[in-house]
Amino acid sequence: MEERKRILYVEDDFNNRILVGRVLQAAGYEILEAEDGLTGIRMAQETKPDLILMDINMPGLDGYAAATKIKSLPGLSGTPVIAVTANVMAGDRERALTAGCDGYLPKPIDVDTLPNQVREFLGGRRETVDEDQERGFLREFSERLVASLEEKIEELTTANEQLKRSDVMKSRFIAVAAHELRTPLTVIRGYVDILVSVNRSSPKTDSNTVMMLEGIATGVKRLHEIVQDMLDVTHIEAGTLQLQVVPLSLSSIITQVADSYRDSLARRQLTLTQEPLTHLPSIWGDNVRLQQVFKNLIGNAIKFTPDGGSITISGRKLGQEAHLIVPGRLQGQNFIQVTVADTGVGIDPAEHEHIFERFYEVRDPSFHGSTSKTDFMGGGAGLGLSIARGVTEAHEGWIWAESEGYDSEHCPGSRFHVILPVGDAPKR
Ligand code: ADP
């Protein structure tokens, strides 16, 4: 039995697609449909149809351009493309043939003759245009393409300017919101802390009241941290992050940070192993800011590792090979690399760079079920890694992520590497 011929119909009008689809299906053809030029090109590549019916007047990429592109694709140059158009202007047929079409069917489609015409084109019928006419239409065709290219570039330039403007507005909003929130929050935090300590030690206050006050204090502290993160992001973006640079040992910074998580690690039954880092040379850096980097990394390792897992921190000295590991980003001769590895859910390789963007979270934030920063898969504002990168860059270093992928069942784990230069004080 003869195999059913496959026809791709590229047409933006739904009713036409239904009509032509039915007629050709009834005539024994398999019909594929694309509703615009770009989809038509993609489907032509993927499905390699026996014939393409191409509507000419479509928004976006029109049928002439789609036909030209399809004819240039490997494996499709011999596939008949038949223009279908409601244009009744003189030269429409020639225009379509010049663009690469092999035939022309005027709209409205004559449903009685359509199956026959399709059969003829499938059987080898080809329409041609004479050379002189073709030359004229080719020029007109290129002029039209250039005009539409110009229009698209203008549209893109305007859209790009609008995007830049809204990015500036967004940054301004973050800066203003963070500044305005910080002052009242500091006042609230101060009073709440006083209330907690007074009521904790007062025999007159019942335990429920103390518990509620402690709850308020925890919430206010978290809010304060988020606002502080927003301010840090603002400074990083504006290049105004101030570093208090002193010679320091990363080993003691990491030990301090790890200690600060002791309760959370115990609660989540996580093992944190810190390999000896004392052999690492001291570096020039900002103690508080570098603590912030490792706080975020270890905090995330806790957050994204299921109970019972492990976190390992290791470090090594690097020479010139650092430039091979992070091409084009580092300056200098000597570096140290610290790695925070976990046995957690891992990160899809497609997300490895995005997670360093401001407010970026792989999961939908509406799934945040918890407010604690160290609960498994607890929520966050998506600022930790962008701050970590900003701080590392301000130290003329780099931070990046490695993971085989995201798998909450088998937990492939993630590794976050920080490289920092050993040598002179950073210039900023
Ligand atoms: P937050 O943790 O507040 O959401 P971050 O900027 O610290 O924001 O992290 C961004 C995202 O990167 C997280 O939401 C998470 O999806 C992913 N991520 C960060 N660290 C890890 C990790 N150790 N394991 C798996 N995913 C991680």
Full DSSP string of 1-18: -PPPPEEEEE-S-HHHHH
134 contact partners, CB below 8 Å, separation of at least 6: 94, 97, 98
Segment 64-88 shows an average pLDDT of 92
Residue 103 host element (H or E): strand 103-106
Segment 70-91 shows an average pLDDT of 89
pLDDT in tens, 412-424: 999 999 999 998 7
pLDDT score recorded for residue 382: 86
Mean pLDDT, all residues of the chain: 92
Percent of the chain with pLDDT over 70: 96
The residue whose CB lies within 8 Å of the most ligand 1 atoms, and thus the one to mutate among 232, 355, 356, 406, is 355
- CA–chain centroid gap for 373, Å, is 24
pLDDT score recorded for residue 425: 66
pLDDT in tens, 41-63: 999 999 999 999 999 999 989 99
Nearest to 395 by CA among 372, 364, 424, 426: 426
Under a CB-based contact definition with an 8 Å cutoff, are residues 329 and 398 in contact? yes
The residue whose CB lies within 8 Å of the most ligand 1 atoms, and thus the one to mutate among 229, 304, 356, is 304
pLDDT at residue 2 tops 80: no
Closest residue to atom 8 of ligand 1, CA basis? 382
Segment 322-326 shows an average pLDDT of 93
pLDDT score recorded for residue 304: 96
Q: How confident is the model at residue 379 (pLDDT cuts 50, 70, 90)?
A: confident
pLDDT at residue 87 tops 70: no
pLDDT score recorded for residue 413: 97
233 touches ligand 1 (CB under 6 Å): no
Orientation of helix 207-238 relative to helix 131-201, angle to 10°: 140
304 touches ligand 1 (CB under 6 Å): yes
Q: How confident is the model at residue 321 (pLDDT cuts 50, 70, 90)?
A: very high
pLDDT score recorded for residue 401: 98
302 touches ligand 1 (CB under 6 Å): no
pLDDT at residue 303 tops 60: yes
Under a CB-based contact definition with an 8 Å cutoff, are residues 82 and 56 in contact? no
pLDDT score recorded for residue 88: 67
Cβ-count burial of 287 within 10 angstroms (0-12 exposed, 13-18 middle, 19+ buried)? middle
> Which ligand 1 atom is at minimum distance from the Cα of 380?
3
Per-residue buried b or exposed e for 292-322, using 16+ beta carbons within 10 Å of the residue's own CB: bbbbbbbbbbbbbbbeebbbbbebeebeeeb
DSSP secondary structure code for residue 36 in this structure: S
pLDDT at residue 371 tops 70: no
366 contact partners, CB below 8 Å, separation of at least 6: none
Lookup: tokens for 214 = 């402690």
Lookup: tokens for 152 = 């698209």
Segment 357-381 shows an average pLDDT of 73
